[in-house]
A and B are shown apart, each in its own frame.
Chain A
Amino acid sequence: MSNQDQYKVHREPFYQAQGREVILYEAAYAARLPVMLKGPTGCGKSRFVEYMAWKLGKPLITVACNEDMTASDLVGRYLLEANGTRWLDGPLTTAARIGAICYLDEIVEARQDTTVVIHPLTDHRRVLPIDKKGELIEAHADFQLVISYNPGYQSLMKDLKQSTKQRFTAFDFDYPEAALETLIVTKETGLDEASAARLVKIAQAARNLKGHGLDEGISTRLVVYAATLIRGGVAPQDACRMAMARPITDDADIRATLDHAIDATFDPSPA
C-alpha cells in the first residue's frame, strides 16, 4: 500500500476546465478506457492528468518518453548482481500491478517498436506479457493508460502508428481562449487581471506567427512564467522578453516583432 501512496497526488493541482473534459474523462475512467491527450506544448495536458488522478484518488505514474527508451525501460529488466540476476519492474509493470494511472508523456518521442508493448494493455485483454520473465500480468482493476502527444511540431517520421492510435479515446487540447487563459494566469500566479490580459495578448500575437518562422506559439506555461516574474517584482517588459520572447526564437526579425508587440501592449511611456 505504501507503494501506492508514493504515487498518489496529495494536493489538489489547479486546473481550469476548458470544456467538458473532466466529466468525459471520468466516464472514460469508469470504463477503464485508455485515453490520448493531443495538443501543443504547455497547454495543460500533464496538469490535466495530474488533476484527474487527484480527483479520482488514484496513484499516477508518469513516464517522459524519449528516443532512446526501449521496451524494457517500460516493462522492466534483469539487473546483474554478484550472484545472479534480479528482476526490476518498469513503470508500466508497476502501474499495472498496483492499479495506477500510467501516463506516457510525449509518446511519439519513443521509437515505434517500443510503443507496441502497450498494445495488450489497451484493449479488452488488459494484460501485460513479460516475455523475458515468462510472466503474464493481469492489470489491476484500477489501472488506466493515458498517453499524450503533440501533433504539431514533430517530424513526419514521428507519428503514431494507426494500430496504436486506434486503441485510445482522445481529447484535443489547445491554448485556451483569451478570457479563460487570463483567468488561468491570474489564478495560478495571483497577477492582476489587466496585466494578465496583456500577457495573453502578446502570447496570441506570437501564436499568429506559427508556421511563419515559429514552430510553436507562446505556450500558457510561458505566460505563467512571465506572470510569475512580474509578481516577483520584475518590470513587465523585461519579464515578457525573458519569459516569452527570448525562449521561443533565435530569429532576429521575429524577436524584433515580438519586442514591438510587447512595447505596444505595455505602453512604455507614462500615459
Chain B
Amino acid sequence: MTAGIRPATDTRKQAMLHPQVQAYWQEIDCGFQQVADVFEECLYEALSTFSREEIKAYLEAARVLGKLGRGPEPMLAFLEEWPSVATAIGGDVLPPVMGLVRAMQKSPNGNAIAPFLQTLAAVARRLQSAEQLQFYIDIAQDLMVRTTGSIHGHHTTFPSPGLPEFFARAPFLANMLSMAGVRNWVEYGVRHYGNHPERQTDYFKLQSADSRAVLQRERHGTLFADVERRLDLYLRALWRDSDQLVPYSTAFDELRKPIPYYDSLGLRVPDVLDDAHGPGGTVSGLDRYRAVLAHMVGHRRWSRPQIADNWSPFQRMAVECFEDCRIETLLIREYPGLRRIFLALHPKPVADACDPETTSCLRHRLAMLSRALIDPQHGYTDADLLEYARRFHELLADHAEAGTTEIADLALAYVAKTRRQSDQLAKVHFDDTVIDYRDDNRHLWQYIEDSDDEDFFDDPDKKNKKPSEVAGLPPRHYPEWDYQSQTYRPDWVSLYESLHPSGNPADIDRLLTKHAALAKRLKRLLDLLKPQDKVRIRYQEEGSELDLDVALRSLIDFKGGAMPDPRINMSHRTDGRDIQVLLLLDLSESLNQQAGGADNASGQTILELSQEAVSLLAWAIDCLGDPLAIAGFHSNTRHEVRYQHIKGFSERWDDTVKARLAAMAAGWSTRMGAALRHAGHYLSARKADKRILLLLTDGEPSDIDVADPESLRADAKKAVAELDTQGIATFCLSLDPKADEYVREIFGKRHLVLDRVARLPEKLPLLYMALTR
C-alpha cells in the first residue's frame, strides 16, 4: 500500500479467515478499515474468555460504538480493551459503561468517549471490583454534568474541557488515590475551575500546582508529612540520630522509582508509603518508614566506604547484598523486634522460580541469599547458599561486628564460587528480588578515578554565577478555608510584605495637637492603668507582714472566747502588664469614602479618621509601654495580598514610624484571612501573657476574584479560630454600620461596631484600655 491510500473496497465484505469470524464481522456491520485489521485478533481473545451471551453483548456494544459517528477510535478501543476489563472485574459492568457512553454521546462530550474507553482497562485492573468501577463512572458522570458549559441559556452547548483530560489521567489517579480521593480531587477542580476552561484543562492535566498539591493531600498510604515528627522522635530515641529527613516525590516519577538514600544533606525517604501486605503479615506505612530509617542509620553506624574501581558491577551487587544483611543482623541484635518488620518486608523468592538456562538469575540468587542471611527459617537447600550463610554467621558470631571489608571479601568469594555464564544474559529475573526498604548504597562506594563514560557538561563559570537579586521579599503562601468542602485550599494566597512608604511625620504631630484635649484626658486614664508592681494579698495565714486590722479582730475574737481567724497576715504579689499588641489596618479602597454622620462636619474620609485614631492609639500604647506593632493590608486577587509594616514591635514611636503612618493610602480589596494569618505568625513569635490582634476595618472581607461573599467570611472566621488556638486574642473594631450581620459570625463576641465613625479617634484608645484593663 502506498502513501496511505486504501483501495476503495467495502470493508464490510472483507473476507475473514474463519467462517465463524466472518459471521460475527457481518453482525457488527462496520466499515472501518482500521477495525477490520484487528478484528480477528480481538475476537479470538474475546472467545477465549467470554461465554456465548457475553460475546453477543460484546459485539452488540461494539456495533453501537461504531455507529456513533465518532470515527473508528471508540470502537477500536472497546474491541481491544473490553476483554481485559471483563477479566479484571467481570462482564456485568457493561451496561453502566455503555450508559456513560450514551450520556456522553447525547451531551456535547462525544470527544471524551474514546479516551474513556482507551483507559478503561488500565483503570479496571487497578480497581479490581465492579462497585469501584461504578464509583468511577459516577465520578466521571458528575464531572461531565457539572463542567459542560451552558452560557446565556444555551444549555449544554460547550463540551467539558476537563473530561477528556480526566480520562487520560484516570489510570494514574486510580493508582495514586482511592476512589474517594479521586472524588475529592475532581470535586476541587470542578468547584474552583468550573467556569474557567483553560485553568480547568490545566487542573485535570495535573499541570497546575494546586492540582498536584491536592493530589498529594488525597493520596492513600502514610504521608511523610503526617508522621515526620514521629520519625524524628524515632531516630532520636532509638538511634540517637538527629539528621534531617528529606522526602522525595514518588508520584510523578513513573519510569525510575526513586530509592531511599542519604547524603550530607540528610536522609532521603519517599513522601508516602502504603501499608505493605506481604506473606509475613501486614506492615503499616509508619513501620515501613521506620525500617527504611533503621537500615540507613545502620549503614551510617557500621558501614565504611569501599574503593570500587576494580570491582565489576556484579561484585558490587554482591558486596551490597552481604553488607545490607550484616547491617540488618546488627540492627536486629540491637532491637530484636525489628526482625518481624524486616522479614515481613523482605521478599521470599521461590527457590526454583528462575531458569538459569534462559535467564540471568543473579538477582534471584542474591535475594534468596539475603533472605537466608536474616531469616533463620528460610528453608532453602542450595549448598552454596547454606555454605555462605554459615560463613556469614561465623563472621558475626559472638557479638562480633565484623567490618565492611571482611564482609566484602566474603561477598567476592561468593561471586567467584557461584558465577554462571547466564548471568550475562539480557533477560533478567526481577520477580521477588526488590527489597524496597533498603537504600541505594551510594555511600558504600568510593571512586579514585572520575568515571570516563560520562562527559562533564557543567561549565565551572556557569555554576558560580549567582541569580540576580530580586527586589523585595519572595511571597509567603497561605492556605484558605473552603467552607463548602470544609478543607483548606493549599498555598492558595500569595502574600507580599514590605515596609510602608514614608510621608511627612509632621502631619501626624499636627493631628496629635489637634486632639490635645483628648490626649490630656487619655493621659489621666493611662496613668491609672500603668502597671502597679506590688499588689497586696490579704487574709493569709502565712505572709510577709501582719495585717493589723485583721489581727485586732482575731484578738478580740480570741479574748471573747470565740475561735479566732488565723489568717491575720498579708503578702504581696507582683502584677506587671505583659501584653503585646498588633494593630492590623484594613487599607482597602472603601476607606477613601467620606465618613457619614452629623458630627463629621469637616468631611473627613474614613482614612483620615483612621489615621488620627491610630496615631492617638499608638501614642497611648507607647505611654503604657506595651509593645505594639502596626501593619496595613489590602489585596488584589489571591495572587497579591500586600502586607505593609508601619511599626515593628521593637520600633519606638518616633518620626520614622509617624512618617509611614502619614503616608497611609487606601486601595484595592479586603482579603482578611491571609492578612490575619500573617499577622498571627508575627504575634505567635512574641512571648507575652496576652497577645492581642486588633483589627480595624470598614467592611466585610471581599475580593474581586471571589464571587461568593460567604467564602471569604468563612475563611476569616477560620483564621480567627486558628489564632485563638495559638493563644492570640483577636478583636475587631468595625466602622461599617451594617456590620452586625457578618462581624459576629467571624469574630464572635470580640467585636465592636462603631456607628459614628467621626468619634473613632476618641474611641479607639479607650477601647484598647478597656480591653487590656
Chain A interface residues toward B at CB < 8 A:
68, 70, 72, 80, 113, 205-206, 208-209, 212-213, 253-254, 256-258, 260-261, 263-269, 271
Q: Which residues of chain A have C-beta atoms less than 8 A from B232's C-beta?
A: 212
Choose among B236, B336, B339, B566 the residue that contacts A212 (Cβ–Cβ < 8 A). B236
Q: Which residue of B lies closest to A206 (CB)?
A: B237
**Quick check: A205 and B340 within 8 Å, CB to CB?**
no
**Quick check: B234 and A257 within 8 Å, CB to CB?**
yes
A68, A208, A209, A266, most chain B CB atoms within 10 A: A208
**Quick check: A261 and B542 within 8 Å, CB to CB?**
no
Choose among A70, A80, A257 the residue that contacts B233 (Cβ–Cβ < 8 A). A257
A209 to B229, CA, bound (A): 12
A214 CB, min distance to chain B CBs, angstroms: 9
B290 on the interface (CB 8 Å rule)? yes
Contact-residue bracket for chain B: 20 to 34
Choose among B230, B287, B336, B339 the residue that contacts A253 (Cβ–Cβ < 8 A). B230
**Quick check: A257 and B335 within 8 Å, CB to CB?**
no
Q: CB within 8 Å of A: which of B286-302?
A: 286-287, 290
**Quick check: A265 and B336 within 8 Å, CB to CB?**
yes
B238 on the interface (CB 8 Å rule)? yes
- Count contacts between A and B, CB distance < 8 Å: 62
**Quick check: A209 and B337 within 8 Å, CB to CB?**
no
A72 to B338, CA, bound (A): 57
Choose among B238, B290, B564 the residue that contacts A205 (Cβ–Cβ < 8 A). B238
Q: Which residues of chain B have C-beta atoms less than 8 A from A256's C-beta?
A: 230, 286
**Quick check: B236 and A209 within 8 Å, CB to CB?**
yes
A265 to B337, CA, bound (A): 6
B236 CB, min distance to chain A CBs, angstroms: 5
**Quick check: B233 and A271 within 8 Å, CB to CB?**
no
Q: Which residues of chain B have C-beta atoms less than 8 A from A257's C-beta?
A: 230, 233-234, 237-238
A267 to B286, CA, bound (A): 17
Q: Which residues of chain B have C-beta atoms less than 8 A from A70's C-beta?
A: 542
Contact A209 to B233, CB < 8 A, known contacts A265-B337, A266-B337, A268-B340: yes
B773 on the interface (CB 8 Å rule)? no
**Quick check: B238 and A267 within 8 Å, CB to CB?**
no
Q: Which residue of B lies closest to A254 (CB)?
A: B233
Ordered by A's residue number, 19 sampled pairs between the chains whose C-beta atoms are within 8 Å are: A113-B544, A205-B237, A208-B238, A209-B233, A212-B233, A256-B230, A257-B230, A257-B234, A260-B238, A264-B335, A264-B336, A265-B336, A265-B337, A266-B336, A266-B337, A269-B337, A269-B340, A271-B336, A271-B339
Q: Which residue of B lies closest to A209 (CB)?
A: B237
Q: Which residues of chain B have C-beta atoms less than 8 A from A208's C-beta?
A: 236-238, 240
B275-292 contact mask (Cβ, 8 Å, vs A): 1 or 0: 000000000001100100
A79 CB, min distance to chain B CBs, angstroms: 11
A224 to B558, CA, bound (A): 53
Q: Which residues of chain A have C-beta atoms less than 8 A from B542's C-beta?
A: 68, 70, 72
A68, A256, A260, most chain B CB atoms within 10 A: A260
A268 to B232, CA, bound (A): 24
Q: Which residues of chain B have C-beta atoms less than 8 A from A113's C-beta?
A: 544
B326-349 contact mask (Cβ, 8 Å, vs A): 1 or 0: 000000000111111000000000
A265 to B233, CA, bound (A): 16
A80, A113, A267, A268, most chain B CB atoms within 10 A: A267
Q: Which residues of chain A have C-beta atoms less than 8 A from B240's C-beta?
A: 208
Q: Which residues of chain B have C-beta atoms less than 8 A from A265's C-beta?
A: 335-337
